[in-house]
Amino acid sequence: MSESDWDKVTYLRKKQPKASQMRSQQAINTAQRKGVAIETTKKFNAATNKQHHTTLNTAKLDRETEELYHDKVTLEVGKMIQQARQAKGWTQKDLATRVNEKPQVINDYEAGRAIPNQQIFSKLERTLAVKLRGREKGNPVKIGGKDYTSMSESDWDTVTYLRKKQPKASQMRSQQAINAAQRQGVAIETTKKFNAATNKQHHTTLNTAKLDRETEELHHDKVTLEVGKMIQQARQAKGWTQKDLATRVNEKPQVINDYEAGRAIPNQQILSKLERTLGMKLRGKEKGNQVNIGAKDE
């Protein structure tokens, strides 16, 4: 039977309404006429756009954000720091080194971008000898009735602290250190270590010796220079390069180079191909003689 013998039947199916259409007033009226049960659910805060809805908590958070705003160093204080620094002939880096801060911190304080830090303010006041806070802002700092603003660095007293350097761990183990500790009545702990004071780097064990013997047993013989010389002479007699010979024996030129230089590990298959191509025996008692095939001298 061909496809033309079949009867064609067309089915008409009503498309199912979408979920949004099921909730429309028209769909509800249709369902009521058909006597279909209708379920109505009331949702809290339905049809409200919560994205733009301002609650009491949001307003409270806005007020807290405003209250938590940090004050910055005023430009007046920044100008004082800059003038006091320039009066001493210091750069921002010099001042930063003296107060043990980064140069960027000094830059922020002078530009009025920094958030006030009382510890940094104290260091700046002591270093620059200028009050930067309170009612005496801009006045020189006086300690013990002295005006430190007019004092130069040469007026300061230099105090040198001598501290005894701690001994190294190796010195603590020396006989001299042990005797000194005994005289002072210090407790000395002695620990015995296995294989102490032995240089394991050059220590040969039985396993190492065994491994050396196995390595010697697995040593591969190389092609002798005598055989390499034969291959080279036979190749040159035919006027071939190493690449020409490699092409004829279907090997890489590096293989021929290794055989002629005595670096190659003998391979019986390669030696057979070389013998047939060069017409010379490279193995056995007839080494160096010409290869005879079928009583013919190639």
Q: Would you list the domain boundaries of the chain? A: 75-140, 225-290
Query: What are the residue ranges of helices labelled H in 154-224?
Result: 169-172, 175-184, 206-217
Mean pLDDT of the chain: 77
> What's the confidence (pLDDT) of residue 296?
47
**Which tens digits make up the pLDDT trace of 53-95?**
556 677 676 666 555 567 888 899 999 999 999 999 999 999 9
Mean pLDDT, residues 253-269: 90
Question: What's the CATH superfamily of 225-290?
Answer: lambda repressor-like DNA-binding domains (1.10.260.40)
> What's the confidence (pLDDT) of residue 102?
92
> What's the confidence (pLDDT) of residue 284?
84
Tell me how far apart the alpha carbons of residues 6 and 233 are, in angstroms, rounded to a whole number: 89
Tell me how far apart the alpha carbons of residues 111 and 76 are, in angstroms, rounded to a whole number: 10
The CATH code of domain 75-140 reads 1.10.260.40
Distances from the Cα of 143 to the Cαs of 88, 149, 171, in angstroms? 19, 11, 46
Tell me how far apart the alpha carbons of residues 180 and 142 are, in angstroms, rounded to a whole number: 50
Which residues make Cβ contacts (< 8 Å) with residue 141, sequence separation at least 6? Answer: 125, 126, 129, 130, 131, 148, 149
Residue 297 β-bridge partners:
292
**Per the structure block, which two tokens stand in for 188?**
């000395």
